[in-house]
Amino acid sequence: MRSDRPVAIVTGASRGIGRAIAEELARTHAVVGTYKGSREAAESLRAQTGAEILRCDVSVAEDRAALVNFVRQRFGRLDLLVNNAGIAPRERRDILEASEEIFDEVLATNLKGPYFLTQQAARWMAERGEGRIVFVTSLSAYAASTNRGEYCISKAGLSMAAALFAQRLAPLGIKVFEIRPGIIRTDMIAPVVKQYEERIAGGLLPQRRMGEPADVARAVRAIADGLLDYSTGQVLNVDGGFHLRAL
The pTM of this model reads 0.96
How far apart CA 56 and CA 111 sit, in angstroms, is 15
Residues 43-47: contacts with CB within 8 Å, 24+ apart?
45/13, 45/14, 45/19
Instruction: Return the pLDDT at 187.
Output: 86
Active-site residue identified among 35, 115, 142, 151: 151
Q: How many angstroms separate the Cα of 163 from the Cα of each of 82, 166, 214?
A: 15, 5, 25
- Among 245, 247, 243, 9, CA closest to 125: 9
Instruction: Return the pLDDT at 212.
Output: 98
CB-CB contact of 114 with 58 (8 Å): yes
DSSP characters over 211-239: B-HHHHHHHHHHHHTTTTTT-TT-EEEES
Interhelix angle for 16-25 vs 213-224, to 10°?
A: 40
How far apart CA 134 and CA 158 sit, in angstroms, is 11
- Burial string for 199-219 (b: 16+ CB within 10 Å, else e) reads ebeeebbeeeebbebebbbeb
- Among 33, 12, 25, 17, CA closest to 180: 17
Per-residue pLDDT of the chain (247 residues; tens, 9 = 90+): 677 899 999 999 999 999 999 999 999 999 999 999 889 999 999 999 999 999 999 999 999 999 999 999 999 999 999 999 999 999 999 999 999 999 999 999 999 999 999 999 999 999 999 999 999 999 999 999 999 999 999 999 999 999 999 999 999 999 999 999 999 999 888 888 999 999 999 999 999 999 999 999 999 999 999 999 999 999 999 999 999 998 8
Q: Does any domain span residue 247?
A: no
Residue 41 neighbours by CB distance under 10 Å? 15
How far apart CA 21 and CA 14 sit, in angstroms, is 10
Q: Residue 175 sits in which domain range?
A: 7-238
Residue 25 neighbours by CB distance under 10 Å? 26
How far apart CA 29 and CA 184 sit, in angstroms, is 24
Question: Is residue 144 exposed (0-12), middle (13-18) or buried (19+ Cβ within 10 Å)?
Answer: exposed
Q: Is residue 151 among the annotated active site residues?
A: yes
Instruction: Return the pLDDT at 74.
Output: 96
Per the structure, the count of domains in the chain is 1
* 131 DSSP β-pair partners: 174
Q: Does any domain span residue 76?
A: yes
Instruction: Return the pLDDT at 189.
Output: 85
CB-CB contact of 185 with 210 (8 Å): yes
Instruction: Return the pLDDT at 235.
Output: 98
- CATH number of the domain within which 223 lies: 3.40.50.720
Q: Does any domain span residue 246?
A: no
